[in-house]
Amino acid sequence: MKFFKLTEYFERLEATTKRLEMFDILAELFREASPEDIDKIIYLSQGQLTPPFEGIEIGMSEKLLVRALSEAANTPTKKIEDLFRHTGDLGLVAEKLITGGQKPDVAQVYKELRTIAETSGKGSVEQKINLLSSLLRGVSAKEAKYIARFVIGRLRLGIGDPTVLEALALSEGDRGLRPELERAYNLCSDLGLVAKTLKTKKIEGVRKFKVHVGYPIRMALCERLPSSEDIISKIGRAAIEAKYDGFRCQVHKDGERIEIFSRNLERTTHMFPEIREAAKALPVKTAIFEGEALAYNETTGELLPFQVTIQRKRKHGIEAIAKEYPLKFFAFELLYADGIDYTEKTYLERRKKLESIIKDNPVIEPAEMFETDDPKEIYKYFEEAVERGLEGVVAKRLDAPYTAGSRNFNWIKLKRSYKGELADTVDVCVVGYFMGKGARARFGIGALLGAVYEPETDTFKTVSKIGSGFTEDEFTELKKMLDAIALKHKHPRVDSVMEADVWVEPKYVVTVTADEITRSPSHTAGKDSEGVGYALRFPRAVGFLRDDKNPEDANTVKEIIEMFEQQRKVKVT
Ligand code: ATP
DSSP one-letter string for 94-140: HHHH-------BHHHHHHHHHHHHH--STTHHHHHHHHHHHHHHHS-
Using a 10 angstrom Cβ sphere, with 0-12 exposed, 13-18 middle and 19 or more buried, the burial of residue 319 is: exposed
- Mention every residue, 6+ apart, whose C-beta is less than 8 A from residue 147: 94, 109, 113, 132, 135, 136, 139
Ligand 1 neighbour 290 (Cβ under 6 A) = no
Question: Is residue 479 within 6 Å of ligand 1 at its C-beta?
Answer: no
**Is the CB of residue 416 below 6 angstroms from any atom belonging to ligand 1?**
no
Q: Are residues 382 and 457 in the same domain?
A: no
What is the structure's pLDDT at 100?
79
Q: What angle do CA 572, 426, 262 make, to 5 degrees?
A: 115
Query: Could you give the dihedral angle defined by the CA atoms of residues 250, 255, 257 and 259, in that order, rounded to the nearest 10 degrees?
Result: -10
C-beta 146 within 6 A of ligand 1: no
Cβ of 508 below 6 Å from ligand 1: no
Whole-angstrom Cα distance, residue 348 to residue 346?
Answer: 5
Please indicate whether residue 463, judged by its CB atom, sits closer than 6 Å to ligand 1.
no
Q: What is the Å distance from ligand 1's center to 46 Cα?
A: 28
**333 CB within 6 A, ligand 1:** no
Is residue 255 located within the same domain as residue 402?
yes
Write down the pLDDT at residue 566. Answer: 79
Whole-number Å distance, alpha carbon 219 to ligand 1 midpoint, is 10
Q: Which residues contact 341 (CB under 8 A, 6 or more apart)?
A: 210, 211, 335
Confirm if 422 and 515 have CB atoms less than 8 A apart. Answer: yes
Q: Distance, CA 292 to ligand 1 centroid (Å)? A: 9
Q: Is residue 525 part of a domain?
A: yes
Selection from 127, 153, 140 nearest residue 49 by Cα: 153
What CATH number does residue 531 fall under?
Answer: 2.40.50.140
489 and 388 in one domain? Answer: no
Q: Is ligand 1 within 6 A of the CB of residue 549? A: no
What's residue 4's pLDDT?
A: 97
Pocket probe for ligand 1: among 219, 262, 290, 292, the residue whose CB has the most ligand atoms within 8 Å is 292
We report the CATH number of the domain holding residue 406 as 3.30.470.30
Whole domain around residue 376: which residue ranges? 221-414
Same domain, 296 and 318: yes
Q: Residue ranges of the chain with pLDDT lower than 50?
A: 418-419, 570-573
Claim to verify: residue 267 and residue 245 sit in the same structural domain = yes
Expressed in angstroms and rounded, the spacing between residue 384 Cα and the centre of ligand 1 is 18
| CA-only gyration radius of the chain, Å | 25
The answer to whether the beta carbons of residues 345 and 335 sit under 8 Å apart is no
Q: Where are the alpha helices (DSSP H) in 208-346?
A: 228-235, 273-280, 306-309, 318-324
Structural domain contains residue 475? yes
DSSP 498: S
Domain boundary among 364, 392, 414: 414
Please indicate whether residue 221, judged by its CB atom, sits closer than 6 Å to ligand 1: yes
433 and 462 both lie in a single domain: yes
Torsion, CA 98, CA 101, CA 106, CA 107, rounded to 10: -110
3-state secondary structure 349-371: HHHHHHHHHCCCCCCEEECCEEE
The finding on whether 244 has its CB within 6 A of some atom of ligand 1 is yes
Q: What is the pLDDT of residue 306?
A: 86
Q: Please state whether beta strands 540-542 and 247-254 pair in parallel, antiparallel, or not at all (unpaired).
A: unpaired
**Atom 2 (ligand 1) nearest CA:** 425
Q: Which residues pair with 429 in a beta bridge?
A: 451, 509
User: Is the shortest distance between the CB of 156 and ligand 1 below 6 Å?
Assistant: no
Give pLDDT, residue 567.
Answer: 74
- 353 and 443 both lie in a single domain: no
d(CA 522, CA 526): 11
* 178-188 helix and 161-171 helix, angle to the nearest 10 degrees: 130
246 within some domain: yes
Query: Is the distance from CB of 251 to CB of 258 less than 8 angstroms?
Result: yes
Burial 147-162 (b: 16+ CB within 10 A, else e): bbbbbbbbbbbbbbbb
**How many other C-beta atoms are found inside a 10 Å radius of the C-beta of residue 17?**
13
Nearest residue by C-alpha to atom 31 in ligand 1: 243
Whole-number Å distance between alpha carbons of 411 and 93: 51
If one residue of 332, 394, 427, 452 were mutated to test the ligand 1 pocket, choosing by the most ligand atoms within 8 A of its CB, it would be: 394
- Does residue 555 fall inside a structural domain? yes
Cα 181 to averaged position of ligand 1 atoms, centre (Å): 25
Whether 294 and 327 have beta carbons less than 8 Å apart is answered as yes
Catalytically active residues are 243
Q: Phi and psi (nearest 5°) for 78? A: -60, -45
Q: Which amino acid is it at 183?
A: R
Distance (Å) from CA 465 to ligand 1 centroid: 26
pLDDT score, position 233 = 96
Let me know if residue 188 belongs to a domain. Answer: no
Q: What is the pLDDT of residue 417?
A: 62
CA-closest residue to ligand 1 atom 4: 245
Can you tell me which atom of ligand 1 is nearest the CA of 241? 27
Neighbours of 568 (CB within 10 A): 9
User: Is residue 244 situated within a structural domain?
Assistant: yes
Three-state SS at 527: coil
Q: Does 394 share its domain with 271?
A: yes
Residue 167 Cα to chain centre, angstroms: 20
Question: What DSSP assignment string belongs to 403-462?
Answer: -TT-EEEEEEEEE---TTS-SS-EEEEEEEEE--SGGGGGGT--EEEEEEEETTTTEEEE
> How much is the pLDDT for 535?
94
Count how many domains the chain has: 2
Return the best residue to mutate from 221, 289, 386 for the ligand 1 pocket (most ligand atoms within 8 A of CB).
221
Residue 223 alpha carbon to ligand 1 centre in Å: 10
Please choose, from the candidates 413, 412, 430, the residue with its C-alpha nearest in 3D space to the C-alpha of residue 554. Answer: 430
Residues 495 and 399 placed together within one structural domain of the fold: no
* Same domain assignment for residues 410 and 448: no
User: What is the residue with the minimal CA distance to atom 12 of ligand 1?
Assistant: 221
* Residue that finishes a domain, picked among 414, 436, 464: 414
Cα 417 to ligand 1 centroid, rounded to whole Å: 16
User: Are 485 and 372 part of one and the same domain?
Assistant: no
One domain for residues 462 and 496: yes
DSSP-based three-state secondary structure for 243: strand
